[in-house]
Chain A
Amino acid sequence: MGEYGLTVGTVELRSAGPITFGPEGILFLADNVAATVYAVEIADAGSTDNAEPFDIDDVDARVGSYLGCDAGDVAIRDLAVHPLSRNVYLSVLRGRGDDATAVLVRIGALDGSITDVPLTDVRYAATTIADAPAEDDERIDFTLPLGDEGEDVQFGTRTVRIVRSPIRAATVTDMAYTDGSLLVAGLSAEEFSSKLRRIPFPFQDEAAANNLEIFHVSHGRWETAAPIRAFVPYQGGRSILASYTCTPVVHFPLADLQPGTKTVGRTVAELGSHNQPLDMVSYVDDGEEYLLVANTAHGLVKIACRDIDSQAPLTEPQEPVGVARRTEELRGVRRLANLGTGFVLALRADDDGRQHLRSLKTSAL
């Protein structure tokens, strides 16, 4: 693990955000309150051979029981499956307000056992995701100090006492690792931008990260930028399919993206009104790659990747729009992760709000 720049220490999560596995059992955890992404070594023993698909009813209540709280005090923010052991990891917020605790929960692939993963004395690395100005930036965020706060900063021959603004509020909504980079999508609490942050891993200094801005066009006439809510790399990381908060589903080739230049993605579908994308996953079935899109209004949306490649940009304002896709009847799916060959794991809420883990057989989708 030395090549990943990990050191032994304690990760103190201040919030539970998206999680995703990277190379060799490295789990990335986004802590939005701390504006930090952690890379933690999860040294699970075992391999995929013995893991079977499994379902867990009332996973929120079962996790709550282990954590000593009612299901209503459990917020499952994300799930990820260890690529070797197939153990399931949940990013959980227990309680709310001042009492809220972020917990990484592990569900054993072999027996469904629920445990928490202490993040003390773990091998980890961290990188900030704050969009903070550089020290020598003329545009330094500052305000006039009150009392003794602030710091002295030299501007030419003058020394000015300033207070640096707190980090800008950015909320990570999805992450994926591909080809030496962690891709991070986020929603700013202030400006409305469509930046996808590309952070080299092993983490380097902050300057190594760059922002990719991808515009999209609606019906050949209106070009917009919007925050990416969920995305998935596919074709071995060469392509990205991203779904925006305003619901267009947009394709762009990752290799073509250059920082600082404007990229216009190809809108291949829309998820429709009163709908929000929640999560995306890719899988291979019978030699063909497919994508699943979980969303708030409809069942799972299934798209064949080869249909994306052949889909011309949407230009006509008429329904139905976009790439051929099938809407599965399964509703209420909030999160998705690959569960080895042939299965996708879904976190699903039923009509009563109870949450369940379901293994979906990909050949049956």
Chain B
Amino acid sequence: MVAVAWSRCAGRDCVRFAEPVADPQVRPSSAAVSAPAMAGTLVDDEGDLCFVPRFGFVAGTRYTVTSAGTVLATLTRPARTVSPTAEVAAIHPTVDVVPRNLLRCYVSFTAPMGDGDAATRVRLVDDAGTVSAHALLPTEYELWNADHTRLTVLLDPARIKRGLAGHRAAGYPLRSGERVRLVVDAGFRDATGAPLVTGAERSYQVGDDLRGHVDPAAWRPTVPAAGSREPFAVAFGRPLDSALLGRCLRVTGPAGPVAGTAVTGDGERAWRLTPALPWQPGRHRLLVDPVLEDVAGNAVGRVFDRDLAYPADRPVTIGFAEVTFVPTP
């Protein structure tokens, strides 16, 4: 039998043959013998024949090497040793009581994560630990931020929207008055393939429905003193979407945009901006992007599901909404 072994050739992993062989081919051992051979090239390396794959060998995968249809060897790539380092950094919303028509949660991780685990490693469970079936929306394409550290978890909108078949057949995914937990399994793998250091969960009390536009005119601002670096604060009166809060609010003053450090608080029901420079006297504006939503998907410009019989819920076409304030003298 010809000696066949893992080796290196021109800086790449290869299969090395100790002597010439006819028509050498490599396949994953899981593939049928009639399946296409693995793509790659045969090269002469100091007298040895080497198979260099076009797409690298996969750690932990077993390969079958044949010559003219006869099995020469089966070789298994060493499994990669990975150790858990990633953790769940946060689960949003952070408010204790979520509305029955909660639309969206976010799971933030301390490291970039891999694709493919969202559907099986994140779930809603009730107080007794029973999984709420069909509560979360299965999406073929997982919803990540650009650096793959924040996963968006949607509750099934077909069950939240009144009038739709899903809602009529199965009702809301959440039930008012009950407790529910969003659970992230420790088995959720990061981008290196390692599981989490530990699982995580956040518990919520389910309250009433949250309806109506997000209405900046109803927000309660706390106005700082001119010349100070006290924060400008605003209370929303309802929990807003944590991700959208990160990009939908801006403050401008007489001299242009006010740079500073913005934080959300009180379960995403409040926001405050501590300016980098002291407040100028004069009129300031908090600009609100109309796409800003609450945790139930109601935005400044439109509600999540609009009852046509309810005029107050009409969509409004607006640019940025404004909350004006003048720092106190």
Contact = CB atoms under 8 A, between A and B. Distances in A.
Contacts of B28: 64-65, 68-70
Given A68-B58, A169-B144, A223-B308, A187 B139 contact: yes
Contact of A95 (B58, B63, B143): B58
B164 A169 contact: no
Contacts of B54: 68, 116
Contact of B157 (A71, A97, A103, A226): A226
Nearest to A113: B36
Given A114-B36, A169-B143, A245 B134 contact: no
A68 B39 contact: yes
B163 A317 contact: yes
B245 to A, nearest CB: 10
Contact of A270 (B162, B164, B309): B164
Given A68-B28, A116-B54, A221 B163 contact: yes
Given A190-B152, A217-B308, A220-B308, A66 B36 contact: yes
B145 A144 contact: no
A273 B169 contact: yes
B306 interface: yes
Contact of A317 (B140, B145, B168): B168
A247 B36 contact: no
B166 A247 contact: yes
Contacts, number: 243
Q: Taking chain B's interface residues, is the majority helix, strand, or loop, or is none over half, making it mixed?
A: loop
Contacts of B32: 58, 61-62, 65
Contact of A246 (B161, B246, B262, B317): B161
A65 B27 contact: yes
A191 interface: yes
A166 interface: yes
Max count, chain A CB within 10 A of own CB: residue among B145, B256, B309: B256
Interface stretch (A21-29, A153-161, A199-207, A337-345): A153-161
A172 B165 CA distance: 26
B289 interface: yes
B37 A189 contact: no
B327 interface: no
B256 A156 contact: yes
B165 A321 contact: yes
Interface in B284-325: 287, 289, 291, 293, 297, 299, 302, 304-309, 315, 317, 320
Interface in A13-56: 17, 32-33, 35
12 contacts: A65-B28, A66-B36, A139-B289, A166-B145, A191-B291, A191-B293, A192-B304, A218-B162, A221-B307, A226-B161, A247-B164, A278-B140
Interface of B: 26-28, 30-32, 35-40, 53-59, 61, 63, 103-104, 112-116, 134, 137-141, 143-147, 150, 152, 156-159, 161-166, 168-170, 189-193, 241, 243-244, 246-247, 250, 252, 255-257, 259-262, 276, 287, 289, 291, 293, 297, 299, 302, 304-309, 315, 317, 320
